Structure 1
Amino acid sequence: MTDQQAPPLLPPPLRAWLGLTAVLAALTTVVLGVLYAGHSGPGTVDAWIQSGVDGVRPPWRYAALATDFLAEPAGAATLVVAAVAGCLLLRRPRAAVLLVVGLSVTVGATTLIKPLVGRTIHGVNLSYPSGHTAFFTALALIAALLMVGRLGFGRTGGTVFVLAAGLVAGAAMGWAQVALGAHYPTDVLGGWCTALAVVPPTAWLVDRVAAARGRQPR
């Protein structure tokens, strides 16, 4: 199967629901950013969740550190290179483009939002939204979209599959960030929502560009 014959990155049956999800996620990211702008401590919900998660001990701490590494520069670069290489080996350059662009825009968005919100943890570290959570969630969402296209899920099944993949990945990385004291729980939620807001429209845009290029006379 060539890249032109491959199913869309954002299957048409999923566009409406994932588009709506992206809008709601973007609004949630903004609302949380406004609520916690300039704060340097946990909110009520943060404190309640942190009391049961923060400061885990071995062996759970080792699991948290291993999960955290997957979104650190070295771990993230390894995952991205491996994923892009796999897409190219399978002759899916459009999927490789989505990986690079989608992840870059997601991480870039968290990097831009952090100084705008100005929320800190441990006094100096900008914390909202969690870039680690956003990256790992975006990677899972992209992987799930690629699988949906190949497995031929319908609208409901495909939407649930993609959102479930993002939820599992976001929950795993979010737990690690809170357990290690790197982020507040609401930072994690903001990072998760950032990925949800970025990936579907980016996949749609890559599809549109590829379709436009395919219609150009050769």
Structure 2
Amino acid sequence: MTGGPAPTVLPLSLRAWLGVVAALATLMVVVLGVLYAGHSRPGTVDAWIQPAMDGVRPPWRHVALAADFLGEPIGAATLVVAIVTGCLLLRCPRAAVFVVAGAGITVGTATLLKSLVGRTIHGDNLSYPSGHTAFATALASMVALLVTGRLGLARTAGTSLVLAAALVAGAAMGWAQVALGAHYPTDVLGGWCTALAVVPATAWLVDRMADWLVDRMADAGRRERR
């Protein structure tokens, strides 16, 4: 991926579709946030799903704990560093910035929403949306976006890859959070939607800023040659 213009992190062919997905995800986050604001008990959907997933025993509990660790600061930082290192080795600095920005903004948004919504579990532990689920979903969808751009996948294939990666990662981390009793199922859904809302917007922003910097550098170079 060297030579020529730097590749975008949000392929043009995916912008419209992922824009619609981001809008719908934002709406879902808001609706769930309003619905469960200030609550400290499971909702109707939670009460229906949670008993089938809560309180898993070994060996599945060990699997859930391992997944949970990947959303903790050390595990999450390790994943981000590994992906960023891969981007830099492939000489894709824009992709590296995207991964760092996407992960940071997603987690920051989830943290802010927790304070705004005020839903709690097990006492005073803020639960909506699930930050672990948001992080895992964001990371998987960002990698899928970068793969889509690198392979030049068409709109349908690229969109399907991004959504499939988000679904698998979100479902895996969401199951772990509910199984460990850390979140209600609707917290998990809120975290998943948070990532789907934030990642496309972050990708667009990174592309705009990177293109602006490239144009500024090009203008400066032309002025120096005069």
Task: Tell me by how many angstroms 1:178 deviates.
Answer: 0.2
CA deviation string 1:113-163 (max 9, x = no partner): 101111000111000000000001000010000000011111111111101
Residues 141 and 162, structure 1, Cα contact 8 Å, conserved in 2: yes
Which is higher, the Rg of structure 1 or of structure 2? 2
* C-alpha displacement of 1:33: 0.2
Q: TM-score, normalised by structure 1?
A: 0.97
The 8 Å contact of residues 3 and 94 in structure 1, kept in 2 or not, is answered as no
Greater than 4 Å deviation, 4+ residue runs? none
Matched, 1:101 2:101: yes
1:113 & 1:134 partners in 2: Cα distance?
Answer: 12
Q: C-alpha separation between the residues in 2 aligned to 1:44 and 1:3?
A: 55
Amino acid at match of 1:120: T
1:33-72 residue CA offsets vs partner (Å, 9 max, x unmatched): 0000010010111011111000000110000000010011
For residue 68 of structure 2, what is the aligned residue in structure 1?
A: 68
Deviates more, 1:202-211 or 1:24-33: 202-211
Q: Structure 2: which 5+ residue stretches go unaligned?
A: 222-226
Query: Aligned partner of 2:159: which letter?
Result: T
Question: Would you say 1:44 and 2:49 are equivalent positions?
Answer: no
Report the residue type matching 1:90 in the other structure. Answer: L
- State the match for 1:89 in structure 2: 89
Residue 148 of structure 1 aligns to a residue whose secondary structure is helix
Deviation, structure 1 residue 212: 1.5
Query: What is the alpha-carbon distance in structure 2 between the residues aligned to residue 137 and residue 6 of structure 1?
Result: 25
Partner of 1:169: 169
> Structure 1: how far apart are the matches of 2:14 and 2:193?
18
Deviations 1:146-190 (A, max 9, x none): 000011111111111101100100000000000000000000000
Q: Which residue of 1 aligns with 2:35?
A: 35
Does 2:188 align with 1:188? yes
Q: Look up the SS of the partner of 1:9 in the other structure.
A: coil
Shift of 1:83: 1.1
Amino acid at match of 1:57: R
Residues 77-106 of structure 1 show CA distances to partners (whole Å, capped at 9, x for unaligned) of 111111111111111110110011111110
CA contact (8 A) 1:178 1:184 kept: yes
Which residue of the partner structure matches residue 59 of structure 1? 59
| 2:211 counterpart residue number | 211
Whichever residue aligns with residue 41 of structure 2, its letter is: G
Q: For 1:113-128, list aligned pairs within 5 A.
A: 113-128=113-128
- CA contact 1:3–1:91 (8 Å) conserved in 2: no
The letter of the residue matching 1:136 is A
Task: Give the AA of the match of 1:214.
Answer: V
Equivalent residue of 2:9, what SS? coil
Task: Give the paired residue count.
Answer: 218
The 2-side partners of 1:203 and 1:74 are apart by: 24
**Counterparts of 1:3 and 1:127, CA distance in 2:** 46
SS of the residue corresponding to residue 91 of structure 1 reads coil
